[in-house]
Amino acid sequence: MKKKYWILGMIMTIVFSAFPSTGTAAGDGDIPEELSQLYARSAVLMDADSGRVLFGKDEDVVRPMASTTKIMTCILALENMQEDQVTAASDHAASQPKVRLGVKGKEEFRIKDLLYSLMLESHNDSAVVIAEGIAGSVEAFAGMMNEKAAELGCSDTYFVTPNGLDGYDEGGTHSTTARDLAAIMKYCIKDSPKKEQFLEVTRTKDYSFTNVKGDRSFSCSNHNAFLTMMDGALSGKTGFTADAGYCYVGALERDGRTFIVALLACGWPNNKGYKWKDTRKLMEYGVANYEYQTVWQDMKLKDVNAERGIEKGNEFGGDAKIPVKIADADKEFKVLLREGEKVDITCDVKKKLAAPVEEGTKVGTVTYTLDGEVLRQFSVVTAQSAERKDAGWCAEILLKKLLMQ
């Protein structure tokens, strides 16, 4: 088996050396010198708060992702399992190939225990037991995975298995992109209602448990070397199959900034360490070059004309002028930027409205963009109301003026 992988690794190395690919930093097409020699065929450095890709190399190329799949399996289990839920292993689960926990058919486990087996040791049989316990079958659980991927905007991701083994069905091949994989990790550590539980599981160093019956004991150790590689390492998941090569997705938090790295096809045996070298390069680049900057700008907005609107002191004049304001203004609005990057601000506000107009009516937007990507939008609304000048209102005003004479 080792000889087979060595031969495969040599073939992949020769092929990839003949067809080098390039990456791009956010903001321009220049490749930072320190990132010009990445091993991974696809790579992403992402700002975990905004989801913005700070650096990408073939980030939208679809590739198999091996056991990095299990971050989706874990988060879906956390979000859908019942407290202390127990499930029995099927013969199908027990037949999964290495790496495996060694479950036996009909043996019962607590799903919360199997999550540590899944994420620390990457056991393929545990992934199937979890999937069947949550959804009833692997196929049904894969459906849940694909539904969640669609919700997250991961349009180039397709799940067939809960463990990431190479496979396909009538829907396609088990695969993702570096961009999508990073987006899934962002959801796991930032957006999911179970993000704290996800981090607790994936950061655990060692974990021991038994089956429900208590007649077999198991111990798990975390194989995510990145957790001790850099200060601030948060979470991560390794992966390898013959088709996928070595893969990795991980997150780091430093000085209020959170970065995600996703790597696909990052070498084959005997190059297991490539993924750690690429991860460190990308994380160090993010830490050294990106800082939060306040980008909010106060804007003077012109009044909006309300046709046939009533304006105090100008009842019989022309249109009313209604002041406008930015709703939910955020003077602390910050963006993770590197030197030379500039946020553009555009304001699009209607020039005229037809009275009557209620206070708080949306009349436009202020948009903050970076390299054409929308960072945030604020609504522009009317700061006061304006009634409409109709025949009845005019008659009432004339009558009041006549009575005052």
Cα separation, 100 vs 251, in Å, equals 25
Catalytic residue among 117, 122, 126, 175: 122
Query: Which has the closest alpha carbon to 385: 351, 363, 357?
Result: 357
Is it the case that residue 1 has pLDDT exceeding 60?
A: no
CA dist 340 to 42, 130, 309, Å? 26, 47, 46
Mean pLDDT of 327-339: 94
Is it the case that residue 54 has pLDDT exceeding 60?
A: yes
8 A C-beta contact, residue 263 and residue 199: no
Strand extents, DSSP E, 2-107: 23-25, 42-47, 53-57, 86-88
Please confirm, yes or no, whether 67 is among the known catalytic residues: yes
Six token digits for residue 362: 């949306």
Mean pLDDT of 368-379: 95
Mean pLDDT of 40-51: 97
Is it the case that residue 91 has pLDDT exceeding 80?
A: yes
The letter for the amino acid at 397 is I
pLDDT digits (tens, 9 = 90+) for 198-252: 999 999 999 999 999 999 999 999 999 999 999 999 999 999 999 999 999 999 9
Question: Where does 163-273 have alpha helices with state H?
Answer: 178-186, 195-203
Confidence of residue 24 (pLDDT cuts 50, 70, 90): low
Cα separation, 176 vs 155, in Å, equals 9
Is it the case that residue 25 has pLDDT exceeding 80?
A: no
Please confirm, yes or no, whether 36 is among the known catalytic residues: no
pLDDT digits (tens, 9 = 90+) for 133-179: 999 999 999 999 999 999 999 999 999 999 999 989 999 999 999 99
8 A C-beta contact, residue 115 and residue 130: yes
Instruction: Give residue 320's pLDDT.
Output: 87
Confidence of residue 296 (pLDDT cuts 50, 70, 90): very high
Q: Which domains does the chain have, with CATH numbers?
A: 2-289 (3.40.710.10), 304-404 (2.60.410)
Cα separation, 125 vs 93, in Å, equals 5
Is it the case that residue 15 has pLDDT exceeding 80?
A: no
Q: What is the mean pLDDT of the chain?
A: 90
Instruction: Give residue 6's pLDDT.
Output: 42
3-class DSSP assignment, residue 196: helix
3-class DSSP assignment, residue 3: helix
Is it the case that residue 317 has pLDDT exceeding 70?
A: no
pLDDT digits (tens, 9 = 90+) for 163-174: 999 989 999 999
Higher pLDDT, 309 or 392: 309
Whole-model pTM? 0.87
Confidence of residue 337 (pLDDT cuts 50, 70, 90): very high
Confidence of residue 315 (pLDDT cuts 50, 70, 90): low
- The values of phi and psi at residue 281, to 5°, are -55, -45
pLDDT digits (tens, 9 = 90+) for 347-366: 999 999 988 899 999 999 99
Cα separation, 164 vs 147, in Å, equals 17
HEC letters along 356-375:
CECCCCEEEEEEEEECCEEE
With pLDDT > 70 as the criterion, what percentage of the chain qualifies?
87
Instruction: Give residue 386's pLDDT.
Output: 85
Instruction: Give residue 310's pLDDT.
Output: 78
Is it the case that residue 88 has pLDDT exceeding 90?
A: yes
Is 195 annotated as ligand-binding?
Answer: no
Is it the case that residue 378 has pLDDT exceeding 80?
A: yes
Instruction: Give residue 2's pLDDT.
Output: 41
Is it the case that residue 129 has pLDDT exceeding 50?
A: yes
Instruction: Give residue 374's pLDDT.
Output: 94
Please confirm, yes or no, whether 122 is among the known catalytic residues: yes
Mean pLDDT of 380-393: 80
